Structure 1
């Protein structure tokens, strides 16, 4: 066979191979739509053994970096403890970014510390919803976040100074409003809301919930829930029983209204007018990841607030709302 015929045969075979591959692309597009064409072509033609080695390196490193999720649990002491999402490398997105980095820089193989890892959260299998109606006293101990929960039924003169301290420290808290207080102090409640704080339900007339019959207990919750919506446009999600007084029936009645019952991990006991320094010392000793810190608009808490913020942060903990602290969402991503 002469060289000319050999060339013709090689070209013909190559053409058949390419046409066959393109036919595969078209079949894939016909089945999954045009948006899939680029992905299929990438998978079909690839980019050689070197890229395969890069993908393998990413997969090995991804296994090392995987953080498993933590399920929500019904703890014997703390009752419902929320779960905490895990974390894993998004292999496909990481691979695409790594390839792009190689092309842009015209570099050779990437080292592990040069790979732009992309992460995604892994939801826990068991959530608070799966546990049923249970009280919540704290967040997940794996999440290094703490919340101030401020129950409001009095103490108007201390609210704005406390808001100013929170603003200066860039801290958002959760204010649980007594409904009868809210009805008389809508403008002050709007000021709390304007400052970016979470606002939730503290019943209507500050009763001992465990001592009420079902209809009265329901009314205490729903009256404030409706007022929060009418006055502030708040879609109420959390209920803090006054004085921490409740029973399982209270929790179930709140759940029937779409609310989770939340209490506290650490109490300032500020209604007894302790010295601000003693409040700060107490918080410094007891606060830990997931703590919900109870206070009220009092002189003690107003003067201790900055010190409490400082000791929380000194322990490497972030401050957020109750919603944020009890959420299973992760605080941050590891550095690649």
Structure 2
């Protein structure tokens, strides 16, 4: 009897093993069929995406021709002399296609743009003075020429900081030599530092060697004191000749004048300066000022007036750059 019972147990065990193997075989086949279906589904999706890609690509290419904005070349103007170029806008077809494929079908195509630089840039124009930025770029700059007036610099910096504005300070070399700590504070607050000669001379009255020395000494100080890689030279009192512009060019500097002069050294009332700016402000304007009491009192009003009229305020480098304003790029998208 015991032998029969053992034989039955062994037989039952064998049946269970065979059933398990059989079941696992079915499971394996089932899982394999799922994987096959997944592959087939993925293939269908790839096929669908390719079809959609071709359709969207055709639409995007056709629309891009209407949306693209050509760049504006830098040029020489009879009045304003060297005028910087302005980047164009072009639909980035590949990135737009990628974004369109990821977007829900009901949504419009999200066009993505890239900037296109002009063929002729400011540096291609040679030695010419610059009085303003490109008229297509709604940005202005505050140029603050510093050779005296330390007592007002603190208030001016506080206003610029409060209103989140960066200016370009053109430093007289002899002033920088005596006031390195003030210059470092100006720089630390994010303002651009540039060259205003060494002893505030009439550059047009100097010979070539003396002009070179005036620019070179201040350039060396900007580098040694502030580690500045400078781009610009502003001749004191706006006095220069072609030799001045040529010498600056040889040093890798462009000669910058101004579009609007506050004449703050004559100590006009603040409201007079603000009204003048309101009347004369235009895209690309470079506004000349100094660390005077008039500028201290008018600065907040100048900034408010520019912003109310929709102008961005940047450094000279930003205003004279061919780069488009971020808002202009976003508006196109």
TM-score, normalised to structure 1, is 0.83
For the residues of structure 2 that align with 1:49 and 1:228, how far apart are their CA atoms? 60
**RMSD of Structure 2 on Structure 1 (CA):** 1.3
Task: Give secondary structure in 2 for the equivalent of 1:293.
Answer: strand
For the residues of structure 2 that align with 1:168 and 1:63, how far apart are their CA atoms? 43
Report the CA distance between 1:46 and its aligned residue: 7.9
For the residues of structure 1 that align with 2:118 and 2:48, how far apart are their CA atoms? 35
Report the CA distance between 1:242 and its aligned residue: 0.1
1:150 aligns with 2:152: no
For the residues of structure 2 that align with 1:45 and 1:247, how far apart are their CA atoms? 69
Task: Give secondary structure in 2 for the equivalent of 1:328.
Answer: coil
Report the CA distance between 1:236 and its aligned residue: 1.6
Aligned to 2:65: 63
1:330 aligns with 2:324: yes
Deviations 1:294-329 (CA, angstroms, capped at 9, x unpaired): 000000010000000011111111000000000001
TM-score, normalised to structure 2, is 0.83
Deviations 1:134-153 (CA, angstroms, capped at 9, x unpaired): 00000000000000000000
Query: Where does 1:31-110 land on structure 2 (aligned, <5 Å)?
Result: 47-101=49-103, 107-108=104-105, 110=106
Report the CA distance between 1:57 and its aligned residue: 1.5
Report the CA distance between 1:59 and its aligned residue: 1.5
For the residues of structure 2 that align with 1:118 and 1:308, how far apart are their CA atoms? 35
Query: Where does 1:255-270 land on structure 2 (aligned, <5 Å)?
Result: 255-270=249-264
Aligned to 2:191: 197
Deviations 1:168-202 (CA, angstroms, capped at 9, x unpaired): 00000000000000000000000100100000000
Q: Structure 1 residues 55 and 186 mapped into 2: Cα distance closer, same or farther (>3 Å)?
A: same
Task: Give secondary structure in 2 for the equivalent of 1:80.
Answer: strand
Gaps (5+ residues) in structure 1?
1-43, 102-106
Aligned to 1:253: 247
Q: Between Structure 1 and Structure 2, how many residues are aligned?
A: 285
Gaps (5+ residues) in structure 2?
1-45
Task: Give secondary structure in 2 for the equivalent of 1:47.
Answer: helix
Aligned to 2:216: 222
Structure of greater Rg: 2
1:115 aligns with 2:109: yes
